[in-house]
Structures are given as C-alpha cells and as structure tokens.
Structure 1
Amino acid sequence: MSENEFARLMDALPGRAKEALQHWGLADQTPKLLKFRENAVFQVRLADGKPAALRLHRPGYHDDRTLASELQWMAALAAGGLRVPAPIPTLDGRNLVTLPATPAFATQHADIVSWMSGEELGRSGVPLDHSPDRIKAIFGRIGEAMAELHTISDRWTPPASFTRPAWDFDGLLGENPFWGRFWDCQGLTPEMAGRLVDLRAFLGEKLRLAERSGLDYGLIHADLVRENVLVGADGVEFIDFDDAGYGWRMFDIATALLRNRHEPCYEQLSDALIAGYRKRRPLSDATLETLPLFLLLRSLTYIGWVGDRLDMPNAEERLSRYVREAMELAAAIR
C-alpha cells in the first residue's frame, strides 16, 4: 500500500467506525483510534458513558463464523472469572455485524467488546521498565491467569458452530501454516531459505515425538505478547484474541516468554510464570522440557508472518532478525 493510499484509508476510517456504531445506536460520537494493525481498534462510549472497544476486522482474515466463535469463547472466559473483553450486543442482539463494501473498504465485520483498564505490560523490543521484583510478580500472575484460561476452556462446551484456527502440526509445520510458509516466504536469501527447509524437516520429527507424548492440548490465546497483557494494581488482563484457537498449552507459555529472552531477569520471570501456572494447573517436568522446542516453533511463525507483510515499515530488518533468532534457538536443541 502506497503512502497516499494509506493516508486515504486513515482519513476514511472514522466514517467507517461511525457506520458500524449505528448498529449499537452510538453513531453520535467520534470514536478514538487506538491502533491499526490487523484490526482497527477504537475507543467508544456506550449509552451509559462507559468506555468500550470497537473493532473493525481486517477484511478476509477471518470469516463471520470464526469471529462469532471468538466472541462466544471470550464471553465464556469472562463468565468464568477471567479478566478478558466480553462482547457487547447490538440493539437487535447480535455480537457481530457485517459492513458492506464501499469505494474505500471491502466487506468487513465489526464488534464492540468491553473495556479493559490495565496498562500494557510493555512493547516488543523495548526493555521492561518495572523493577525485577515487580516483573516477577507480574509474570507469576500471567502464569496463573493463563492456567485459568486453559482450565475454563476445558470446562466449557463450545456450540456446534464453533470454529477457530488450529496451531497444531499442520498449523505450525504443514504445507500451509496458519501464519505462512516461513521456509519459502518472500525476502529470504537462498541460504536462509535452505536452512529453514532443513530446520522444518528436523522439527517435524521432534514435534511428532512430542505430540505422541500426550501434551496438553486445547483452546489457547496463542498471542500473549507484552502488548496483549494489561497490568493493573491487582491483576492482569488478556486482550486481542484475534489469533486464538486450538493448540498445545506449551505454545501459549512459549509465546509469553519468547520476546522476554533478553531481559536481564529472564530466568526469574520465566520461573515465576511457570510457578504461577503450576499454582492453578498441572504442568509436569517432562512437559516443561519441550519449552525450547515451542520457543523455536513460535519464533518461526514470525518469519512467515512478516514474510507476508514486506510492505510494512522495517519488514526486511525484522525478517533477518527473526531468522537469526530462530537459528539461535535451533542451535540449543539440535
């Protein structure tokens, strides 16, 4: 997308948001754009004055059935006591609406979810600014909340129409992984591509062995990076379930840890997260031994992700960095 096209899109976004708000009877306000990545997210005010989040979903990424399933699961998690956004129905009782195509926009879906009041744990690539003791306390709470998410999910019976992506063998290492073919995406040098082809084959054997060992599998958040963990005075909140689905629970743990590997207190925060998880849910030492494998698998997904988005700022630098990180992690398990 050119700069001019992006500028026109940004100019048109507020009007698109007000179009969506009509379904909730809230079109008399000016929504505040919070972020524009996979989705455009706005802060809005409900009829009672309370804040909420309007999401305009990226066209073509998820269909209406998959998005409705996400909202059903979030509602179940919130009802189970987890601090996550919950859907707010339209005037006619729908959780999700479809906005028709216009000259500026393709057909897309929109929803409103409840507001979370915590502050972002941090930003990827920026050192955490909490004290070491505070970091350990936060990651302990993340571990506990993650375990609760898994437990509530196991107790919940999804409706027959429920469908979400799977971070399973095919979703990670199959011919068309959920976040892209990391071994032959655009931007790779022939040397990089060759090394990733070999690594994919090696990991296929390792993951099949782990799969047969009976690893804990079920619904997971799948993207508990710093930006998606909000920290409050008395707990943590999880947001952005856009990529949530089925997967190994160790994948959730690996995702929460991967971008913190270079923190000076990484060992302590990792131990705190594991200890917090074990307060709420069993996690055997044998299962924990697969953490290096899942850290590597998580790192490979970022290569596929950025390989499909080479028009974004710093994409080439990020691609090279992600490949280096994957190779570092691979060296630890070969």
Structure 2
Amino acid sequence: MAEHLPQRLLEALEARAREAVAHWGLENAKPMLLKYRENAVFRITLADGEPAVLRLHRPGYHDESALRSELQWMTALRDSGLAVPSAIAAPDGRLLVRLDATDDCAGQHADIVSWMHGAPLGESGVPLAHSGERQVAIFHALGAMMAYMHNLADRWSMPHDFKRAAWDAEGLLGESPVWGRFWDCEGLSAEQRRGLGILRDRLRSSLENVPAGAFDYGLIHADLVRENVLVRDDGVAFIDFDDAGFGFRLFDIATALLKNRNEPAYPSIERSLIEGYRSRRPLPDAALSALPLFMTLRSLTYIGWFAARPELPGAEARLRRYADETLLFAGTLPVPA
C-alpha cells in the first residue's frame, strides 16, 4: 500500500510519525510505513530493541474518548490472556498523544502498541496459501478465540465513560451508518444506487422483524479480516481493534468468513470456525441460520468505507466492484425477506 501513495502524502506521513515517536523519547526509531487505510500504521523499534507499532489515527474518525476506550478494552483482553496488542505508555504516562495540526496534516492522535508476532492469515483477493488441513485448524482456533473474546467482553466491568461505535441496525442501515451511506455515495451508477436502496430496505425489514434477544449482542472486534488475524505456532492472535464496538456477535463471525467464501475449501472453513466458536460459547442453529443476512450486511459496509476514502488507490473502482459483488451476493443467498 505504501508504495502506491503520492510522494507528498508519504513524506507528510513519515514526518508526522517522527513527530509522534518523539513523545515516547524515540527520536531514532526510524518509522517504516506498513499500511495506510483507517490509520497510518508504522513499524518502529523501541529503546530496548523490540519492535512495536505506531498508529497515527485518522483525523475525525474517533474522538479521544473512543480511542481511550479501545485501548482500555485491548488491555482488559490482554490481561485476561488473549493474544492481542497492549498499549505502550510514553515516559509521562500517556497512552494517547495529541498531535496539533500542521500545514500538511490535520490534528490527530497517536499511540504505540506492542508488536504481535505471527503471519497474517492471508490477503484479501489472494487465495489462502495454507493446506486444507491447516485451514481447518486455523479457522477452528479463530472461532474459539473469537468466542473467548466475546465471553471476556460479557464478564468485563466496563468503565463508566467507555465509548465505542455501535454496529447495530442503525449503525449498519440507518440514515448515518458507521461506515457511510452506501446506497447513495459518490461513484455509484444509477443502477447500483437503485439496487442498494432496495436491498437496504429489505435488510432493515429483516432486522426489524427479529424478536428481541434473538441475536447475541455485545462488544465485538468488528474487523476480523484475514490481515487482522495472525497465525502462530500456538494458535492465532488478533490485531487492529480500531473498529471494535457494540454489535451482533454474528457480525464478527460474518466478517471472518466473508472474504473466504470463494475459497475451494470454504465449506470446511465455515464448519471449522463454527465448531471452534461453539467449543467456547453457545451458538444456536436458529441464530446461525441468519449468517447470510450478516454476511450481506458486512459486504455493504465496504462500499461506504471506500466512498469516504477517495485518496486510497483505486477507491472508486473498488467501491463499484463491491457494490456489484454485494448485489450479486444478496441475490444468491437466502437472505430473510
């Protein structure tokens, strides 16, 4: 991703990263840009020689309260034995640093979290490299760890000022969804707008007709895509809690499965993940039957996400492709009417 960014943007991000690490006394850290999507993410080296991750948070996406809440939940999960990053405090004790606006950058926050060892499960659009047997083991571990995370979330005494987005009916299909108005964003064709508007109404009706309590709801990661699941000898680790919030637990499951649906071994992948999840947490068949609905909801989110980030390489082409894929997907799966 970094090599495709405009040179001026790349230079501005690198200068901003050097400004940020100085607050941790790491003037010689030599930040290396890893990705630029929601945040600008850099690999750095701490004073003790250990690697870590610097995050320059996207201006205006989360306020300071929401960012602190993300770090609080990550810390709670880490303290309970989950393989997730931990926040690294600056010498003055701050976990989050405010960076003032400059000629090249808007005001934003930065933090540093621990490096998580392991290899990403895969890359979107690229076939999984693991053998079928290995895929079964990985997705079973992924499902089990996801369920354990949901269990920990339910037991956690949430701070009174905890604040995160809600991936509920309003957050997914309301007038101002978390990731944008996918049905009328810039870059869509008239036909795509019509189709997505009809689909939105259909899905809203589906969720409104669901009996209260039919779907498990609580804190979720909300972005367990391949790149955010690290495969290790001892299982898996989760990274990038930037979109963590309140939502349907099936939304977490749908996210982990969606980009794998074209894999030749997808039936085994889905079965293994569900079996792993059920080894740690109940998942009734009645609720699981709504998985296609939540996979469709997840697919819709990518459209608004790319529409709101036109600076990303190929953003408009990708949002059109996601729109076509979502409409096709929704038309072939048994989404409840």
What's the TM-score once normalised by structure 2's chain length?
Answer: 0.95
Runs of 4+ in 1 over 3 A off after TM superposition: 3-6
In structure 2, the partner of 1:183 is 183
Measure the CA separation in 2 of the matches of 1:177 and 1:43: 31
- Confirm or deny that 1:141 pairs with 2:141: yes
Measure the CA separation in 1 of the matches of 2:133 and 2:210: 34
Percent sequence identity over matched residues?
Answer: 59
146-155 or 306-315, which deviates more: 306-315
Letter in 2 for 1:305: W
The answer on whether the counterparts of 2:4 and 2:313 sit within 8 Å (CA) in structure 1 is no
The answer on whether the counterparts of 2:65 and 2:162 sit within 8 Å (CA) in structure 1 is yes
In structure 1, the partner of 2:193 is 193
Secondary structure of 2:237's counterpart equals strand
In structure 2, the partner of 1:108 is 108
The answer on whether the counterparts of 2:164 and 2:244 sit within 8 Å (CA) in structure 1 is yes
CA shift in 2, pair 1:199/1:71, >3 Å: same
321-330 or 229-238, which deviates more: 321-330
CA shift in 2, pair 1:159/1:213, >3 Å: closer
Measure the CA separation in 1 of the matches of 2:291 and 2:227: 22
The answer on whether the counterparts of 1:292 and 1:329 sit within 8 Å (CA) in structure 2 is no
Q: Deviations over 1:137-178 (max 9, x none)?
A: 110010011001111111111111110000001100100100
Secondary structure of 2:75's counterpart equals helix
Q: Deviations over 1:280-331 (max 9, x none)?
A: 1111111101101000000111111122234432233322321222222322
Structure 1, unaligned stretches of length 5 or more?
Answer: none
Measure the CA separation in 1 of the matches of 2:61 and 2:302: 17
Shift of 1:12: 2.7
Q: Deviations over 1:114-147 (max 9, x none)?
A: 1100011111000001101111111001001100
The answer on whether the counterparts of 1:182 and 1:301 sit within 8 Å (CA) in structure 2 is yes
CA shift in 2, pair 1:147/1:325, >3 Å: same
Measure the CA separation in 2 of the matches of 1:190 and 1:159: 45
CA shift in 2, pair 1:5/1:295, >3 Å: closer
The answer on whether the counterparts of 1:40 and 1:58 sit within 8 Å (CA) in structure 2 is yes
CA shift in 2, pair 1:99/1:33, >3 Å: same
The answer on whether the counterparts of 2:170 and 2:177 sit within 8 Å (CA) in structure 1 is yes
198-207 or 257-266, which deviates more: 198-207
In structure 1, the partner of 2:308 is 308
Q: Deviations over 1:87-106 (max 9, x none)?
A: 01111111101011112211
In structure 2, the partner of 1:15 is 15
What's the TM-score once normalised by structure 1's chain length?
Answer: 0.95
In structure 2, the partner of 1:168 is 168
Measure the CA separation in 2 of the matches of 1:185 and 1:221: 26
Measure the CA separation in 1 of the matches of 2:280 and 2:327: 34
CA shift in 2, pair 1:42/1:313, >3 Å: closer
- Confirm or deny that 1:202 pairs with 2:202: yes
CA shift in 2, pair 1:318/1:9, >3 Å: closer
Measure the CA separation in 2 of the matches of 1:219 and 1:46: 31
Letter in 2 for 1:135: Q
In structure 1, the partner of 2:127 is 127
Aligned CA RMSD, in angstroms, stands at 1.7
CA shift in 2, pair 1:181/1:271, >3 Å: same
- Confirm or deny that 1:45 pairs with 2:45: yes
The answer on whether the counterparts of 2:214 and 2:287 sit within 8 Å (CA) in structure 1 is no
Structure 2, unaligned stretches of length 5 or more?
Answer: none
The answer on whether the counterparts of 1:171 and 1:178 sit within 8 Å (CA) in structure 2 is yes
In structure 2, the partner of 1:62 is 62
Shift of 1:9: 2.3
Measure the CA separation in 2 of the matches of 1:241 and 1:175: 25
- Confirm or deny that 1:227 pairs with 2:195: no
Shift of 1:44: 1.5
In structure 2, the partner of 1:318 is 318
Letter in 1 for 2:146: M
Measure the CA separation in 1 of the matches of 2:4 and 2:119: 33
In structure 2, the partner of 1:72 is 72
Measure the CA separation in 1 of the matches of 2:320 and 2:198: 17
Shift of 1:5: 9.2
Q: Deviations over 1:3-38 (max 9, x none)?
A: 999312211323321221122121133122211222
The answer on whether the counterparts of 1:210 and 1:290 sit within 8 Å (CA) in structure 2 is no
The answer on whether the counterparts of 2:127 and 2:263 sit within 8 Å (CA) in structure 1 is yes
Measure the CA separation in 2 of the matches of 1:5 and 1:323: 24
Letter in 2 for 1:177: P
Shift of 1:256: 0.3
Measure the CA separation in 2 of the matches of 1:162 and 1:221: 15
Shift of 1:219: 0.4
